[in-house]
Copies of this chain bind each other. A is one copy, B any other.
């Protein structure tokens, strides 16, 4: 694919990922999952939508669930530093030839003047500053549950050509903090940030545009374990797709869940400060089997292959473009792939890892 040109127009000053608008096919069931299981806080709800936020948030919402015909992500929304930044967003994307829509009254409740675009990668990106403030529940420990979600941490997007995406996102003012590459320079994924954590969004190589996941923070690791324990008690343990575990990339403790529509939700805690301009970029070898799980636990195939559709500004699913570069699953756990724990090793796996890393042959 051709490189996305750098606009002469300056990018908007993005503060942070702020909320995701998600289309769900059974609002009641999704509400049960996000409110009764994950204990997100309802800011507003009616028959067609539920607006949710995390406990430390003071803006109106971090997640909008909207009833619709096809499960998909309708908007990846970022907050910018001031109202004026919206003009920059508009100009930036218009120069890129993207479809741009601006609504002074906003696209969803609680948010005012907003710019939505179909970005060069096909994602529905939103930018806003004006937003309704709500109570920051940080001190309301009477409302905390064992798995309390306290912040929105990041998005994760699937896109075929990671370097192309990184170039565009860098133009948008994001910085790379970590990535996964192989010895030939193929890039499998990259983590990019505005706020000084490991990411506000990540670009994961695969057929796209798709939403890989949305991630919320807990304060401590036991909070994540508590969510697993609760899912077990509710006989919903099959909502757990992967983890809990420690990431290599980001050094965070994590868990991946799948919501009733299969949308992936990560619970995440304890990455590190990245706010200095010379923050060292960490590049991981795709064959290092501690890169995605520091404990070497293998990634389940669905985690590589499944993701949510994204919508264009008319609400229609974006068609997918196939990844043509090597795929991470193929080069690591696939028939011809390999992973190592110690780079210098000859690759002889202990018996208990053979089944995991050579899945085809086992039993």
Contacts and interface: CB of A to CB of B under 8 A. Distances in A.
Interface of A: 15-16, 56, 58-59, 79, 81-82, 133, 136, 138-146, 148, 150-151, 195-196, 219-222, 225-226, 228-238, 240-242, 244, 246, 248, 251, 253, 258, 262, 270, 272-273, 275-280, 289-290, 294-297, 300-303, 306, 333-335, 341-342, 349-353, 355-356, 358-363
A333 B272 CA distance: 39
Top 3 closest pairs, chain A to chain B, by CB: A237-B296, A302-B352, A141-B229
A245 to B, nearest CB: 8
B240 A272 contact: no
Nearest to A241: B352
A228 B295 contact: yes
Given A237-B341, A251-B138, A280-B133, A232 B220 contact: no
The complex is assembled from copies of this chain, and their number is 4
User: Which of the listed residues A15, A275, A358 has the most CB atoms from chain B within 10 Å of its own CB?
Assistant: A275
A246 B139 CA distance: 10
A300 B356 contact: yes
A296 B238 contact: yes
Given A196-B195, A273-B56, A362 B301 contact: yes
A359 B356 CA distance: 10
Contacts of A234: 142
Given A136-B280, A145-B145, A238 B363 contact: no
A225 B225 CA distance: 11
Nearest to A56: B272
Given A146-B145, A355-B301, A233 B133 contact: no
A151 B273 CA distance: 8
A233 B139 contact: yes
